[in-house]
Each structure stands twice: as structure tokens, then as C-alpha cells.
Amino acid sequence: MNQLQNLLTDCLINTKHVENAAIITTKNATIRAASQMFNIQAPQVQMFIDVFQHTALTREEGFYFLGKSYTCVRADRNSIYSKSNGHGLILVKTALYIIVATYNDSMYPSVCVEAVEKLAEYLREKGK
């Protein structure tokens, strides 16, 4: 297991408030680490990169992911928080990566957000 995979598991999945997670490299649109059963396809990876370039449009229109329509509740240059009924999708950008995390209706969104933002801050401190 690589270091990013370990960070993803230890910092996100083990909180029990992140259902699925992935770390995407923005430069070449590849998945560097992902939780089991979280299959993100290439068009979705590119969509996650693109939403950070069009945050105003993302706020207005939201987006579709894995068959669900997500409403954006926050979108700025580093973070995008969205929800679809009791589910949520959190995207946080660092210099090299986008961290993707989902939560479901049995999880606390605030814990998911805090875990993802803390991991992003750690990666930013490392220059990643």
C-alpha cells in the first residue's frame, strides 16, 4: 500500500464518517489512492478537476455523480461541499491533489468535512 493509500484509510475511512474516498492527481487526472469499492471513472475525475475552474457555475447548477444530482452548498478555490438527500460529496484541493470523500445519512457531515480538510492541510504543509 502506498503512503497516500495509508493516509486515506487512516485519516478518512477510519473516522467512520467517510463512506468512500479517493485522492486524484490534478496534473494528469489519475487516481493515486481510493477506498475499496469506490470506482471513479475517467470522465468523473476530469469533472472533479473542472468544477474547481468553474466554482460559480458549480454553485448555481451543482453536478451529477454516480447517478445522483448534487446541490452545491459551498464552492471556493479550495473546497466544494455538496449534498444529495442524505448523502454528501466533499472535494478539497491541494497543490497537487483533489481529495474526494462521500458520506451517507448515517454519518455526520461535519466530521467528514473536518477529516478531509485536515488531510488537505497536512498535504499542503508538505507542499503537495
Mean pLDDT of 29-36: 94
- Each residue's pLDDT tens digit, 54-109: 899 889 988 899 889 999 999 999 999 999 999 999 999 999 999 999 999 999 99
Which among 111, 97, 87, 124 has a CA at the least distance from the CA of 34? Answer: 97
Predicted pLDDT at 66: 87
pTM for this prediction: 0.93
Mean pLDDT of 16-27: 96
| pLDDT band (50, 70, 90) for residue 44 | very high
Q: Could you give the number of structural domains in the chain?
A: 1
Is residue 53's pLDDT more than 70? Answer: yes
CATH of the domain at 88: 3.30.450.30
Which residues, 6 or more positions from 46, have their beta carbon under 8 angstroms from its beta carbon? Answer: 29
Which residue range forms the structural domain that includes residue 66? 3-125
Beta bridge partners of 68: 65
